[in-house]
Amino acid sequence: MDPATLIPIADPLPIPWAWFDILLIVTFTVHILFMNALVGSAFIGLVRALKGNGQLAHDVGQKLPPLLALTINMGVAPLLFLQVNYGHFDYVSSVLMGGWWLAVIAALMVSYYGFYIYKFGYGGMTPVKRNVLFTISLAGLLYTGFMLTNNTSLMLVPEEWTRYFTEDGGFLNLKDPTIYPRFLHFMVGAVAIGGLWIALLGEVRKVDEYVEAGMKWFTHATLLNLGVGIWFLMSLPQHVMLGLMGDNLPATLTLVASLVAAAMVLVTGFKKQPKATAIWAVTLVFFMACTRHWVRTLYLEPWYDMDTTPVTHSYGSFFLFLGFLIVGGAIIGYMLKLYFKSRKGRA
């Protein structure tokens, strides 16, 4: 069977596709920063709790429910923009995964309720119960991340879709050599950003222990992630890897920019400068999101050319979106201003 026959026809776009790719990269950067702070700080807090120091887990646990809510909400926009430009690949991979993909909803609900119970029921639980609840909640996040990794990798390999006709039920993309380094690259990066989040929390609260521990986790995880990144790069198909290493100039430049930003976060990280490190970390995540976009583009080159998608040039909906984005952003900014003002007054 020719896998190309399984790829649906792309729907016409209202405006040129580049706009949606830009919005996808920007919103994905925001989403991944929240996700990293959530998963990374939860992991570090659990490790410290299992070692007998539950104070960090308690302080981190107070922030996890809103962080999870923000992560989910900030993940909606990049998912929608992905479906605009690449929905005919993403929808197929989601359907092929079947129950594995649908179970993400249940896993997130378990994590959400678990973190809320941990936050508001902390004083009424024994340390063992707290750690078990924390572990289950974190496991739900890890399951979700692994399923997302499976989905975003399966959508890139239509040649694997034919397995649907030979295997029963939904299947995962476990035979892909990139699946494990891809997943670990995200999770180790999450530990790094989680450590930075804890360091920033410590700096705000004037807790030197949190700054010291957070920056240590950040630098060590970042160094480890450089090795995982090399593993991921070497596991890519040859044409994708070569594209990142010189055959495709924009892709190569974004990878180089990512490495420069990684060097800078390590410099400021080892100097224990959380704020400066945070600025470079945001820059690094943005360039890594750009590199991830080029990986997707290079993967899909044999199957799809964005320039072949028809464009209707209907800009009305786009201008409406920008208007709501600007007005909504201003309202949220005003709400945050009132919140911090009232918080200062209460203090």
pLDDT digit string (tens) for 224-277?
999 999 999 999 999 999 999 999 999 999 999 999 999 999 999 999 999 999
Q: Please report, for the chain, the start and end positions of each structural domain, with discontinuous segments joined by +.
A: 14-230, 315-347
Mean pLDDT taken over the chain: 93
**Please, which residues have CB within 8 angstroms of residue 334's CB and are 6 or more apart in sequence?**
none
Exposed (0-12), middle (13-18) or buried (19+): which is 34, by Cβ within 10 Å? buried
| 179-205 helix and 208-235 helix, angle to the nearest 10 degrees | 160
pLDDT at 165: 83
Q: Are 13 and 312 in contact (CB under 8 A)?
A: yes
What average pLDDT does range 163-191 have in this prediction? 89
Q: Is the pLDDT of residue 346 over 60?
A: no
Q: How confident is the model at residue 52 (pLDDT cuts 50, 70, 90)?
A: confident
Residues of the chain above pLDDT 90, percent: 79
CA atoms within 13 Å, Cβ hemisphere of 61: 29
| Residue 47 tokens, joined | 């490790």
Q: pTM for the complete prediction?
A: 0.92
Three-state DSSP class for residue 311: strand
3-class secondary-structure state, position 126: coil
The confidence band for 343, taking pLDDT boundaries of 50, 70 and 90, is low
